[in-house]
Structure 1
Amino acid sequence: MSECTEQYPVIRPGKPILFETYRFRGRAGCLIPKEGRFCATRDVVIQWVKDKLDQVPLPEALSQGEEFSLDFYGQIAEGVNLPERKLWTVRMTQPDVGLPGHIDPVPGCSWISDLSVMEIDGQVEFGVKITCSYLPDRKALPGFIRPGIIRRLAHLVGLSQIRPVDGKVWDLLSPEDLNDLEGFLCSKERYLPVVVISQTDGPDPSSEQSYLVDGDHLAKDLIGYAHVVRMNWDLSLLWTDMVGVPWTVSNGGVRIYRPGLDFDADQYQSHPLMDKDRIRRWMGSADRRDNGYVQYLSDFLKSFPARTSLSWGGLVFVPEARLIAREERAKAPMEDQVARNEALEDQIEALKLLLEATRSDRDEYLAMAESALRETDSYKEELFSLRNSYITLQAMWESRTGQSVDDELILPDSYNHMAQWVSDHFTGRLKLHPRAVRALKDGAYEKPQLVAQALMALAKEYRDVKLGLQDYSVFQERLQEIGLDCRPSISNESAGKYDDRYFIPISQNGRDRTLLLDNHLCKGVSKDRSLCLRIYFLWDNSRDEVVVGWLPSHLPNSKS
């Protein structure tokens, strides 16, 4: 026979990519009596699974909340029941069918839904994670789509994530509500972002039109994605006093407070604020519900749950629950060796499946981490380039004009906007650590303009000294002109007696480090904070900039 030379094409779909598009963990059953919460929540989830598997022959075990497994031509579901642990979990895999009239189905794409209901310490916990499996040639990432079970549970049995997840706006009504808001924002158990809508100073403050964004409509749209808070004019003024101008939201602005908020460690710029003028420009003539800004805000917030680190606590899903069930069976008394061997084989098979699921999760998280790292590196390079360009332009302007770019600066006459003033004028030369930004809120020194002059001296003369462009005497002369001294602040040994007050965490060359605020500018020795000025700072040689860690009051020492 002659050798056949005809070539046949081989279709190679490639290894699927897993992309988690949604995750949620919260308490369920707050709308019904405590003793019936677990069963009621589980039954709602079971009905949702049955609705999703419409026209698929379903085992009776599913309706009873028992262990089951089915595979109907690519539609796969498996449930595990652990009654001793009060745990029921289900995994469902279905092909992508799109959204009729809105989104076309994507060939080669499937969706994996993992849901778990468990009673922990007397509370019913519910968790869900949605994963999209798609082929490498897909050009667009899947959308961050919230599963319908969130709305269903919220309306039928109740959901909460510290606060109710019910699609309703939280209207702040009293100063006590502001204390609750602050505690809620700083809670380590909060996994969802909080969007705060503030009231404008319009002609009719009682009108809903005094809020540029329709909070009720937004809260319904973002149920399970974010909490929506509405803050009136008077409370926004109190909120500003509580958290400081850099962290506030007022006069028609909208702010997003990310999960894990720490006022003393976070950069306030990382919690996005949109003021009313920019919102109005974005809205144009459109209404408060349907406009470009609301659409942007909605799309932005819907990506948060999938990108936020979330601890599942004691909740487990099918791969782990399957192994637990097999382990419990292997421990049970058995009459013969054959049964024991079968139980051990089941346990081994469950271990293999759990290992495979763990590997898939690992690959997904590694891919996400690599993508995030590449994106971060790209932003860092761009920021570094812009920063250097900005500093170069300043130097060129000074060289041509013979004047400093700081000569015409208008000094702030209060501490309210000093953080923004520093950010606007000293980028790349001096920055305020978040702890310093927070300290300005309670600034009591009587001459804020002198504080601004001191910061300017650090950004100009002191920085030039550290870069070798000027002699130290130039910096000393400038301090003498404004009546300040520069001294070492405290030794490492002595600083350790005051916890972390003299230390600040900063990132240098990709590594987190804790550094001593080893210098401070001084004026006055009075214990009266209005008469005594201290500005604690350090030099960051990895970024060639001054970092101010505390001002304008004195940190504790052996004399205070």
Structure 2
Amino acid sequence: MQSNNENHQNDTNRQRIYKMNGLREALTPLAARMPRVVREHEILRVVGVLKSREDQQTNATARKEILAWLQKRSGGRLPKEAWECKRFEYLSGGRNSVGVRIATPEIDLWSVRADDPDKNIPGRTWTTEVTVGGTSGELPTFTARLIVSTTENDFVDGSQGAAVPGFVKQLATKLGVQRDGYHFSPDPRLIDSEEDSEWLINTLLDPSRHIPVFILSVPNNAEHQTAPLLDANNLSKATIGIGIVAITTPKSSWALTHRFGKQRSVFNGAARTYLPGFSDDSDPYSHKLALADQLATPKGKTDCLRLMRNLAAAESLRHTRLGKDVLAFSAIRNASIQINQKNLEEFGASSDIKLDAATTRIRALEERVESLEKDNEHYLDEYLKEYQRAEDADKRSFSLTFRIQQLNKQIKDSGAVPDTNITFPKQWRDFGDWCDQHLAGRVVLASAARRAVQEPEYNDIELAARCLLWLANDYRESRLGQSDLRVREAPIESGVRNAACGSDEYEINWNGQRHVVDWHIKNGGNTRNPSRCLRIYHLWDPASQQVIVADMPAHRRTGAT
């Protein structure tokens, strides 16, 4: 039974709750009349290098193109100072534009910020920031940001998806723009030759690539062998500078399948997004695939294009740093005002002029602080979302792996053998897919192993597959303490055994951590003939309870060999 003190405490708590509820109800009408907080959401960033070395002429042409684009959106005529690339302010019923410039012997930076109220949703304003210029003697650069300010608590863009501002296409067409060696193009690239396929494969695997690659494959039975199911031109124009769009013919799609296997390829009308960081052993589900059946309806096509455009925008934020790769307009304006204030001091300006300059700088600093606070709030929200997504993905991955392992155990407990009817691959090009299909949750090929089994000289494919099956069953069970097998020098087949690597052990990076590869399967005969010498280097990952095959089927070259 409860004591009198406990009853009294419960009554007190109830009274507090009643008072809080009453206060909340009383404040609700007042909160409804309060102005809603405006939040900024950064949508995308574009970073590019203007390829011409004639700095002054290139900068002038780039500014002219941007001002022409800005003029069409301004609702009026920009002031003369804007066309002279000087500091200006243009106010036009919400379609406001502001420009600043920093020009010294060492640096020339011109930056504009333009607002454009949303045509359909009240309280939503789109802002574009553009900066052109750079330091003396270097290729001119340009950066752009697209930001939306809104009172909506949960911003959702219900349009066709994020799109790069139109002036980026003009700069790419007239001046030529590139980033990390990739040229900005408003047109998709057709992959229709061995040379094209090699370029595409190298692009997908390029560790310095910061933008996604969208591959739209042509159906095998298509009347026009260069026409995918999605509108490639629309996607290419919308993602210029933040994505690469490629069209693969049935023949060139086969080159991708041959290189990466079916799970990581795209063919027969499907479309796929290859994010930065793609590799031979990437999780195929992280690089989104839309099958031809999903693109058979207008809604399916629209949804897929929207997803691709939004993915390109999200990746542009993830792979650029504000303040280093991209300069915010507020930072450039503040620096410009500071330089102007310093010049006034040096040239002995009057007190009134200095006071005006100081007031202007204070106002700019206040706006800068407000902008940074909004940025910090936005980035914190995005970080929490990404952290939650990553955590959920890890949980799903471990859950699926555990489920596969659990099902295999249930099959064994019932007296059956999980791999009784398994068929072995007949060609090396099918080996990676075979491993993914039949050994999932037990054995996984690392990227080096996946590359090495594409076209090795070793000729006994079935023996290599049977060895991996031994790792998936006998070896793995011993690691889990489910058998008494002694793994050191354990015989697998006649002349084939599992042995410690000894002096040949080495380290690899797996799932962001360093692991030691300390075991290998080897055949006897002491032969180094690559067609007959089998080596399967592997390690045990206790976190996922899987065997990681680091390399196979050839003997690794080391300092000793």
TM-score (norm 1): 0.81
Q: 1:188 to 1:320 in 2, by over 3 A?
A: farther
Q: 1:362 to 1:403 in 2, by over 3 A?
A: same
Shift of 1:447: 1.2
Partner Cα separation in structure 2 for residue 217 and residue 348 of structure 1 = 44
Letter in 1 for 2:403: S
Say whether the 8 Å CA contact 2:522–2:534 is kept in structure 1. yes
Q: 1:171 aligns with which of 190, 193, 197?
A: 190
Residue 192 (str. 1) matches residue 211 (str. 2):
yes
Equivalent residues, number: 520
Q: 1:242 to 1:265 in 2, by over 3 A?
A: closer
**CA-to-aligned-CA distance 1:113-160 (integer Å, 9 cap, x gap):** 211112465433222111122225347356543233334444555544
Partner Cα separation in structure 1 for residue 392 and residue 381 of structure 2 = 16
In structure 2, the residue corresponding to 1:23 is in which secondary structure?
strand
Q: 2:327: which partner in 1?
A: 316
Residue 60 (str. 1) matches residue 80 (str. 2):
yes
Q: 2:306: which partner in 1?
A: 299
Shift of 1:533: 1.1
Partner Cα separation in structure 2 for residue 398 and residue 522 of structure 1 = 28
Say whether the 8 Å CA contact 2:130–2:143 is kept in structure 1. yes
Q: 1:78: which partner in 2?
A: 98
Shift of 1:521: 1.2
Partner Cα separation in structure 2 for residue 260 and residue 393 of structure 1 = 32
Q: 1:179 to 1:33 in 2, by over 3 A?
A: farther
**CA-to-aligned-CA distance 1:373-415 (integer Å, 9 cap, x gap):** 1122223333333333333233223222x12211211111222
Residue 514 (str. 1) matches residue 514 (str. 2):
yes
Q: 1:39: which partner in 2?
A: 60
Q: 1:396 to 1:306 in 2, by over 3 A?
A: same
Q: 1:435: which partner in 2?
A: 448
Letter in 2 for 1:392: Q
Partner Cα separation in structure 2 for residue 416 and residue 384 of structure 1 = 28
Q: 2:167 aligns with which of 149, 153, 160?
A: 149
RMSD: 3.4
Residue 532 (str. 1) matches residue 539 (str. 2):
no
Gaps of 5+ in 2: 1-25
Task: Using the TM superposition, name which of 110-119 and 233-242 deviates more.
Answer: 233-242
Q: 1:171 to 1:385 in 2, by over 3 A?
A: closer
Partner Cα separation in structure 1 for residue 142 and residue 378 of structure 2 = 23
Letter in 2 for 1:361: D
Q: 1:544 to 1:273 in 2, by over 3 A?
A: same
Q: 1:87: which partner in 2?
A: 109
**CA-to-aligned-CA distance 1:473-508 (integer Å, 9 cap, x gap):** 4x68984336421112145xx75xxxxxx322223x
Gaps of 5+ in 1: 1-5, 99-104, 496-501
Say whether the 8 Å CA contact 1:450–1:482 is kept in structure 2. no
Letter in 1 for 2:340: R
Say whether the 8 Å CA contact 1:76–1:94 is kept in structure 2. yes
Letter in 1 for 2:339: E
Letter in 2 for 1:108: G
Q: 1:373 to 1:468 in 2, by over 3 A?
A: same
Q: 2:287: which partner in 1?
A: 271
Q: 1:17 to 1:348 in 2, by over 3 A?
A: closer
Q: 2:421 aligns with which of 389, 394, 408?
A: 408
Q: 1:114 aligns with which of 116, 121, 129?
A: 129
Say whether the 8 Å CA contact 1:28–1:126 is kept in structure 2. yes
Letter in 2 for 1:317: A
Say whether the 8 Å CA contact 1:245–1:441 is kept in structure 2. no
Q: 2:395 aligns with which of 368, 372, 381?
A: 381
Letter in 1 for 2:140: V
Partner Cα separation in structure 2 for residue 490 and residue 354 of structure 1 = 60
Letter in 2 for 1:39: A
Partner Cα separation in structure 2 for residue 249 and residue 137 of structure 1 = 38
Partner Cα separation in structure 1 for residue 129 and residue 416 of structure 2 = 64
Q: 2:493 aligns with which of 481, 486, 494?
A: 481
Task: Using the TM superposition, name which of 83-92 and 8-17 deviates more.
Answer: 8-17
Say whether the 8 Å CA contact 2:219–2:269 is kept in structure 1. yes
Q: 1:552: which partner in 2?
A: 553
Letter in 1 for 2:126: W
Q: 1:396 to 1:182 in 2, by over 3 A?
A: closer
Say whether the 8 Å CA contact 2:488–2:499 is kept in structure 1. no
Say whether the 8 Å CA contact 1:29–1:40 is kept in structure 2. no
Shift of 1:434: 2.2
Letter in 1 for 2:30: P
Shift of 1:108: 2.7
Q: 1:536 to 1:117 in 2, by over 3 A?
A: same
Q: 1:516 to 1:413 in 2, by over 3 A?
A: same
Task: Using the TM superposition, name which of 159-168 and 303-312 deviates more.
Answer: 159-168
Partner Cα separation in structure 1 for residue 261 and residue 398 of structure 2 = 29
Q: 2:340 aligns with which of 306, 329, 346?
A: 329
Q: 1:470 to 1:355 in 2, by over 3 A?
A: same
Letter in 1 for 2:195: E
Give the percent of matched residue pairs that are identical in Structure 1 and Structure 2: 23
Q: 1:216 to 1:337 in 2, by over 3 A?
A: closer
Partner Cα separation in structure 2 for residue 142 and residue 214 of structure 1 = 19
Partner Cα separation in structure 2 for residue 393 and residue 166 of structure 1 = 49
Say whether the 8 Å CA contact 1:505–1:515 is kept in structure 2. yes
Partner Cα separation in structure 2 for residue 252 and residue 153 of structure 1 = 32
Shift of 1:173: 4.8
In structure 2, the residue corresponding to 1:229 is in which secondary structure?
strand
Q: 1:345 to 1:359 in 2, by over 3 A?
A: same
**CA-to-aligned-CA distance 1:533-558 (integer Å, 9 cap, x gap):** 11111111112221111111122234
Residue 208 (str. 1) matches residue 225 (str. 2):
yes
Partner Cα separation in structure 1 for residue 97 and residue 65 of structure 2 = 16
In structure 2, the residue corresponding to 1:9 is in which secondary structure?
helix
Q: 1:14 to 1:457 in 2, by over 3 A?
A: farther
Matches within 5 A, 1:187-266: 187=206, 190-199=209-218, 201-202=220-221, 207-208=224-225, 211-213=228-230, 215-216=232-233, 218-220=235-237, 222-224=239-241, 226-238=243-255, 247-250=264-267, 252-261=269-278, 263=279, 266=282
Q: 1:119 to 1:181 in 2, by over 3 A?
A: farther
Q: 1:320 to 1:517 in 2, by over 3 A?
A: same
Partner Cα separation in structure 1 for residue 430 and residue 270 of structure 2 = 16
Shift of 1:253: 4.7
Q: 1:454 to 1:73 in 2, by over 3 A?
A: same
Residue 454 (str. 1) matches residue 462 (str. 2):
no
Partner Cα separation in structure 2 for residue 423 and residue 444 of structure 1 = 22
**CA-to-aligned-CA distance 1:172-211 (integer Å, 9 cap, x gap):** 354333443344434455433222344555497xx33775
Q: 1:457 to 1:177 in 2, by over 3 A?
A: same
In structure 1, the residue corresponding to 2:100 is in which secondary structure?
strand
Partner Cα separation in structure 1 for residue 228 and residue 329 of structure 2 = 45
In structure 2, the residue corresponding to 1:442 is in which secondary structure?
coil
Say whether the 8 Å CA contact 2:426–2:462 is kept in structure 1. yes
